[in-house]
Structure formats: structure tokens, C-alpha cells
Copies of this chain bind each other. A is one copy, B any other.
């Protein structure tokens, strides 16, 4: 491979995955490293990076996926970072090699940022019959599937109302954000396909005793009231027992009920990439419990970043949630630590999350959130803050031009 020849005398850093963690590591390295200090190779399945926190909008059909994805060549400086478009099959850490579908790469330092997969917790039929919002492909497939059900409805001699029933599994962060978009999309679909709005049902099913577990109850109530006013029906404290080609079977208080639905989207669980586990790293649900400097506990030359990394919040002795915010912060630590290692500096920086807040959108112009520890935000203010957060990321990634190109600029 050509990159091996060029880089014979320089340490070689290979970054796997161009999600939030991977791409930000590459972009930060371009700033941290001096010319010719190292060879950096970024590997990704597609030639684009995408904002996985926006996928629920692509899936609902309220935002086009081309707004969510960004060509990798628009993010990196090609004279500093080499991009290889390929799919990672396996990491062989003992041999310092990565097996790709169409080749392989050797490395001196590895950054694993292979992202998340849907976690179905063994619920029967979920893998086969439910969609999950995992990437650009699955998101636009969901949009297309929903459109298809609406388009089909008036073309059948016997109208099947289950075509117009949408079930979202999970009322956590992603589930709530997704039903928020769906509630805004449904009236558009009804207009497009001449369907009475009252025929459409949107269910949000959550096993926990509340929607948005972990959120302030006042915010949860605001969110649920708003979404219910847009026609969302919540089934809280309700387990999905099974997903079938016809819909789902749920159970609450030992009462079993079937909901017929042509569209079931599972938004209740994620885990780290299966490749990490299969490559022999020690993981919990695909996530490696990293050292304080973001390295694998057993490998001095391997960093883990983003959804594949597990960090314990020692105040509450529970893992931090795998968010974009944390992945981006981790990438900065990883880049600085890589520069230190290459320069032979022993002391590596410790990663400390700087939690600036959390905002969940509830459809265009509506959101809830907490910032600065305990300040609650509602409605338009929260929605604006969400956009500020999104634009801030784009600024970190590609400066003002990236914000102008991909940012959410309609603030009010």
C-alpha cells in the first residue's frame, strides 16, 4: 500500500471510523502535530462523516440526509491526513495490524472510533422486524418505509389502518427526539397522500416508569404534554415482549396487548461496535473501559474514543452516557496524548468530561434541556440552544465555512 512506502520512517497513526470521535481526532491531530512528525491515516466505510445526533430527523423525513453528512475531504487536510475508504473487518492488536475488506494496514498507534450498534436486549423479532436509527442508510430507509406505507394506503381495496400506525420503542433521548419529528412530519404525509390525520397513530413505548429517565420531572412533563398535544400516545412502564411482521406485543401489569403497526423503530438501546469485541478487546456491550488517558487497559498503543469507550462517572459510579459532546472532548485528549507519545513524552493527559448540558429537541422550534448544571430550558429557548450546540460542533470541525454550509441557521 502506497501509504506504507511514504511513511517508512515516521510513526504511523491509524484512526478507525470517522464519527464524532474519529474525525475530531484527525482534525485535532492536524493542529497538534508538526509537519512530518507522523503519518496519519483515517479509515471509514463511507466517504462522508455524519452527525448521528441528527439521524432521527432524516429518519422522520424532516431533514434531508445530505444536510447531516459531510464529505470527509471537506473536514480533513489531505496533505496531513490520508483517507482510506474501506470497511474494518478486524483489528489484530498483537500484530499491530487492521484487516480491511479490501486490504490491510499496519500501525504504530491506533485510535478505535467504530461507533455504535443497536442493542435489542434479546427481544424476540426486534432484529428482524424493527428498524433502528443507526446510520445514513437506515435513516433514509425508515423515511422511505414510512412514505411507502402512506402511499400504499389509498391504493388497496381494503384500507389497512396498521399502515398508518408508527411505533417507537423507547422514550429515552433518541426515542423522544424521533417522535417529536414524526409528530411534525405526519401532517405533511397526510397532505401528500390524502389521508385523514385521525387515521394515523404514533405510539411511544417505554419500559421504564417514566419517559426520559434521568431528566428533571418538570422537563419530562413539558415534553410529554407537548408531544401528546401533537397526537403522540405514550405507553410508559410497558415492555415490548416481541416484534412480529404485523407489529408488536407489549405487556403492562401482566396484561398483554398486540399493537398492529407497519412501522416499528427501535430507539431504546445502543452498544459499541461488534468489531471491537470480536477483535479480542475486553468490552462491556462492545465498550472498552478505558484508562484515564483514553487508552485500552491492556494496550499502550491503542486509544478508544466515542461510543466504543466506557468511562465511569465516579460521583455516581455509573458510566457517562455515550454522547457526541463527550466523544468530541475525548478526541481532543486523544490527539494531545498521541502527540506526546510520538515525542517520547511519558506523562499523558487525563480525560475529564466537561458536561455543558443536554438539550433534547421535540420537533422544529421545540425542545427541553438542562444547561450549566441545573438551569432548565423549555420551548423556543431550548430549541435555540440545541442549534447553538450543533453549530458549535461544526465550528470545531471545520470553522465558519462548515457552519455556513451545514449549520442550522434558522434560529427563531
Contacts and interface: CB of A to CB of B under 8 A. Distances in A.
A141 B137 contact: no
Contacts of A154: 137
A193 interface: yes
A38 B288 CA distance: 83
A145 interface: yes
B151 A140 contact: yes
Given A141-B151, A144-B152, 9 more contacts: A138-B155, A140-B151, A140-B193, A141-B152, A141-B155, A143-B151, A144-B147, A144-B151, A148-B148
Interface in A132-163: 137-138, 140-141, 143-145, 147-148, 151-152, 154-155
A121 to B, nearest CB: 22
Interface in A21-47: 46
A59 B140 CA distance: 20
A173 to B, nearest CB: 24
Nearest to A136: B194
A140 B155 CA distance: 10
Interface residues of A, number: 17
A245 to B, nearest CB: 16
A337 B216 CA distance: 75
Interface in A96-151: 137-138, 140-141, 143-145, 147-148, 151
Nearest to A154: B137
A140 to B, nearest CB: 6
Contacts of A194: 46
Contacts of A148: 144-145, 147-148
A46 B194 CA distance: 10
The 3 closest A-B pairs by CB, nearest first: A144-B151, A148-B148, A141-B155
A47 to B, nearest CB: 9
A55 to B, nearest CB: 14
A141 B163 CA distance: 14
A137 to B, nearest CB: 5
A193 B194 CA distance: 26
13 contacts: A137-B154, A137-B155, A138-B155, A140-B151, A140-B192, A140-B193, A141-B151, A141-B155, A144-B147, A144-B148, A144-B151, A145-B151, A147-B148
Contacts of A144: 147-148, 151-152
Contacts of A155: 137-138, 141
Nearest to A147: B144
Contacts of A138: 155
Contacts of A46: 194
A147 B194 CA distance: 19
A152 B46 CA distance: 17
A46 B144 CA distance: 26
Contacts of A193: 140
A147 to B, nearest CB: 6
> Which of A147, A151, A192: most chain B Cβ within 10 A?
A151
A311 to B, nearest CB: 32
